[in-house]
């Protein structure tokens, strides 16, 4: 009886793994660069965005912990959003789940947080 249950579990696992592998193969054959990407696989990957130049000298820096980033597209999204704020230059890291923000004028933390959360990510800490 136990043997039969183990066989059934193995068959179910094999079917799940086989389905996942088939999905990945189909996605890669159709040209998707980033499987599971919210941009439909057209994210820029590991390409670095040029650093935004600030108008004045840097007067402060903050680190934002951000959850919900899963690929290069997410990093580009957050970087562009933060860099659109006057006086802010952002360097976003997918592996660290954070953004290092430099600014040349006083910027309220709430402004940074609202900008990132408006595009669908969660700011868990700013320090």
Is the confidence at residue 20, as pLDDT, over 70? Answer: yes
Give the chain's largest Cα–Cα span: 75
Which range among 1-5, 30-34, 68-72, 112-116 has the greatest average pLDDT? 112-116
Give yes or no for a contact between 63 and 126, defined as CB atoms under 8 angstroms apart: yes
The confidence band for 14, taking pLDDT boundaries of 50, 70 and 90, is very high
Q: Could you tell me which of 1, 2, 81 has the C-alpha nearest to residue 89?
A: 81
The pLDDT assigned to 21 comes to 86
Is the confidence at residue 124, as pLDDT, over 90? Answer: yes
Residue 95, classified by CB atoms within 10 Å of its CB into exposed (0-12), middle (13-18) or buried (19+), is exposed
Q: Which two tokens stand for residue 120?
A: 């669908």
CATH 3.30.70.3270 fits 60-126, yes or no: no
pTM for the model: 0.65
What's the rounded Cα separation, in Å, for the pair 18 and 13?
A: 8
Question: What are the tens digits of pLDDT across the range 61-107?
Answer: 999 999 998 888 889 889 999 999 999 999 999 999 999 999 999 99
What's the rounded Cα separation, in Å, for the pair 80 and 85?
A: 9
Cα angle 15, 20, 23; round to 5 = 125
The pLDDT assigned to 37 comes to 62
Question: What are the tens digits of pLDDT across the range 23-48?
Answer: 878 877 776 656 666 555 555 554 56
Give yes or no for a contact between 28 and 41, defined as CB atoms under 8 angstroms apart: no
Q: Which two tokens stand for residue 56?
A: 């004045």
The pLDDT assigned to 12 comes to 94
């Amino acid at each position: 009886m136990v043997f039969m249950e183990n066989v059934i579990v193995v068959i179910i696992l094999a079917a799940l793994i086989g389905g996942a592998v088939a999905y990945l193969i189909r996605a890669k054959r159709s040209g998707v660069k980033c499987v599971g990407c919210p941009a439909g696989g057209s994210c820029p990957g590991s390409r670095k965005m040029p650093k935004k130049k600030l108008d004045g000298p840097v007067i402060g820096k903050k680190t934002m912990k951000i959850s919900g980033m899963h690929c290069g597209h997410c990093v580009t999204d957050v970087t562009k959003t933060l860099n659109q704020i006057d006086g802010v230059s952002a360097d976003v890291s997918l592996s660290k789940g954070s953004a290092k923000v430099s600014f040349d004028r006083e910027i309220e933390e709430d402004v940074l947080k609202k900008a990132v959360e408006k595009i669908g990510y969660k700011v868990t800490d700013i320090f």
